[in-house]
């Protein structure tokens, strides 16, 4: 019954693997993965679209320093009583009157409590904040892709280790079969080894499924399309000294404070909110505007020509100044100022919280990077010792000095050491990426 269940499990896993392997594959480097990720990431593309809005709002604030000019005209018909003044008398007649009017209006603020200046500065800060948000979004896309990319490479390496271990145990099984035939080993050793080989087949298949699953997740992140899986290029895991580990934490904090794009973003948003608050307070002050109006019309009740009426007889011009003093506006101005003030205070809170979080992220990434170096060194020594132990016990087993339990334990320790060392290598590589991301110096496209 156990063998039957094992056979069914292997058949199911093999079918699943076969379906996954039917996907088309394309070669893909880390730089290409980042490029594709940026072009396909929805949040990043939304930020690019939003940036165009911020640019136009900044231009709008700048052009508000110029006069506003509008041209309008009306053409309509009046049917019914028409009033005309002729020689001092008011004559009422029932007529059809066709009327055409034209107007040109121009206005320009002279003083509005520095509102235009503050709006212009705020618009510039909002646009710059958006640019920093885009740069940080690039780094976040690269960081997420790097995490998935390295996980797939690690899964592939673990699968190779599982396959290598499986092949070694198959050769060990052949050796034990020979020992049993020669009477040097018991049947229990043979059955134990067959059970171990069957178990390792399942382990290898599980490792392959994990590899393919994470590969599919990366393909989905990159939105490569249906039935397409990437074939990833390896990254260099060669160790090199990092200059960042030679610096004290205070300098790393300073670097993060000057390089983190999200911190620059919230600082610019705080500055913009402050300017918007100043612009809101300008509604409390009087406003002085200059204006110019040009009006004319044509009526069918007048027998003179359209050109004579519209351009010569009826045009009127007016120009001057308009002073508006706010006295009582149902607390609309106060509500506007209060909203702006709360937005400014909230931006201050966001900046303080981000500064605290950045310091924590830098310290954690720094300590984890150092720990990853020690772990890589320790697992390298562990692997070397496991190789020596497995070689020695295999020889003792061949000579009949050690039993099967010792050999199985040595094999398991070797596989564990190989897996731990592979994980330590990729963890060390990724920890440096994490540190650069925390410092805000992760260059998009590096790998």
Indicate if the pLDDT at residue 11 is higher than 60: no
pLDDT at 164: 94
Indicate if the pLDDT at residue 8 is higher than 50: no
pLDDT by residue (tens digit) across 66-122? 999 999 999 999 888 776 665 566 666 777 889 999 999 999 999 988 999 999 999
Binned at pLDDT 50, 70 and 90, residue 62 comes out as: very high
pLDDT by residue (tens digit) across 226-257? 888 899 999 988 877 888 888 899 999 999 99
Instruction: Read off the pLDDT of each residue in 259-284 and give the average, rounded to a whole number.
Output: 96
DSSP state of 98: E
198 closest CA partner among 166, 164, 237: 166
pLDDT by residue (tens digit) across 424-436? 999 999 999 999 9
Beta bridge partners of 287: 324
Measure Cα distances from 351 to 132, 269, 276, 436 in Å. Answer: 14, 9, 17, 21
pLDDT by residue (tens digit) across 315-333? 999 999 999 999 988 899 9
Task: State the chain's mean pLDDT as an integer.
Answer: 89
Binned at pLDDT 50, 70 and 90, residue 189 comes out as: confident
pLDDT at 4: 47
Indicate if the pLDDT at residue 52 is higher than 90: yes
230 closest CA partner among 147, 149, 140: 149
Percent of the chain with pLDDT over 70: 92
φ/ψ (deg, to 5) at 241: -70, 135
pLDDT at 144: 95
pLDDT by residue (tens digit) across 137-162? 999 999 999 999 999 999 999 999 99
DSSP state of 331: T
Please list, in sequence order, all residues whose beta carbon lies within 8 angstroms of the beta carbon of residue 216, skipping any fewer than 6 positions away.
Answer: 20, 229
Instruction: Read off the pLDDT of each residue in 289-307 and give the average, rounded to a whole number.
Output: 91
pLDDT at 85: 60
Q: Architecture of 2-40+113-285+329-439 per CATH? A: Up-down Bundle (1.20)
Please list, in sequence order, all residues whose beta carbon lies within 8 angstroms of the beta carbon of residue 3, skipping any fewer than 6 positions away.
Answer: none
Indicate if the pLDDT at residue 259 is higher than 70: yes
Please list, in sequence order, all residues whose beta carbon lies within 8 angstroms of the beta carbon of residue 128, skipping any fewer than 6 positions away.
Answer: 268
Indicate if the pLDDT at residue 423 is higher than 50: yes
Indicate if the pLDDT at residue 58 is higher than 90: yes
Indicate if the pLDDT at residue 19 is higher than 80: no
Q: What residue spans define the domains of the chain?
A: 2-40+113-285+329-439
Instruction: Read off the pLDDT of each residue in 120-144 and give the average, rounded to a whole number.
Output: 96
Burial (CB count within 10 angstroms: exposed 0-12, middle 13-18, buried 19+), residue 272 = buried
Indicate if the pLDDT at residue 15 is higher than 80: no
Instruction: Read off the pLDDT of each residue in 12-41 and give the average, rounded to a whole number.
Output: 74
Whole-number Å distance between alpha carbons of 117 and 395: 85
Is there a contact between 427 and 125 (Cβ–Cβ < 8 Å)? no
Full DSSP string of 385-441:
HHHHHHHHHHHHHHHTSS-HHHHHHHHHHHHHHHHHHHHHHHHHHHHHHHHHHHHT-
């Amino acid at each position: 019954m156990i063998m039957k269940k094992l056979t069914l499990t292997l058949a199911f896993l093999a079918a699943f693997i076969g379906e996954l392997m039917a996907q088309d594959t394309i070669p893909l480097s880390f730089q290409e993965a980042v490029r594709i990720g940026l072009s396909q990431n929805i949040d990043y593309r939304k930020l690019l679209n939003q940036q165009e809005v911020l640019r136009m709002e900044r231009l709008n604030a700048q052009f508000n320093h110029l006069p506003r000019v509008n041209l309008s005209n009306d053409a309509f018909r009046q049917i019914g009583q028409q009033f005309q003044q002729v020689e001092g008398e008011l004559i009422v007649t029932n007529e059809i009157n066709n009327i055409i009017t034209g107007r040109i209006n121009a206005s320009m603020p002279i003083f509005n409590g520095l509102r235009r200046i503050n709006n212009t500065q705020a618009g510039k800060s909002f646009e710059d904040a958006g640019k920093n948000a885009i740069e940080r979004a690039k780094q976040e896309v690269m960081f997420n892709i790097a995490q998935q990319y390295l996980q797939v490479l690690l899964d592939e390496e673990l699968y190779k280790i599982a396959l290598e271990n499986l092949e070694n145990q198959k050769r060990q099984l052949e050796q034990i079969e020979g020992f049993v035939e020669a009477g040097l080993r018991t049947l229990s050793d043979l059955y134990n080894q067959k059970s171990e080989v069957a178990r390792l087949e399942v382990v290898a298949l599980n490792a392959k499924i994990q590899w393919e699953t994470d590969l599919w997740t990366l393909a989905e992140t990159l939105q490569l399309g249906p039935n397409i899986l990437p074939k990833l290029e390896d990254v260099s895991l060669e160790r090199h000294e990092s200059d960042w580990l030679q610096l004290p934490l205070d300098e790393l904090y300073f670097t993060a404070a000057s390089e983190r794009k999200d911190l620059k973003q919230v600082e610019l948003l705080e500055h913009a909110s402050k300017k918007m608050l100043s612009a809101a307070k300008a509604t409390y002050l009087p406003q002085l505007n200059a204006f110019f109006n040009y009006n004319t019309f044509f009526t069918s009740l007048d027998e003179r020509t359209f050109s004579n009426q519209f351009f010569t007889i009826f045009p009127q011009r007016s120009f001057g100044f308009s002073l508006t003093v706010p006295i009582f506006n149902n607390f609309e101005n106060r509500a506007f100022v209060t909203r702006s003030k709360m937005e400014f205070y909230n931006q201050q809170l966001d900046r303080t919280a981000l500064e605290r979080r950045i310091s924590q992220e830098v310290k954690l990434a720094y300590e984890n990077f150092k720990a990853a170096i020690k772990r890589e060194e320790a697992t390298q020594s562990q692997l070397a010792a496991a190789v020596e132990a497995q070689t020695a016990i295999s020889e003792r087993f061949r000579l009949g000095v050690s039993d099967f339990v010792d050999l199985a334990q040595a094999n398991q320790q070797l596989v564990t050491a190989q897996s731990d060392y592979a994980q330590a290598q990729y963890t060390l590589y990724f920890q440096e990426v994490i540190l650069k991301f925390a410092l805000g110096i992760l260059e998009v496209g590096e790998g």
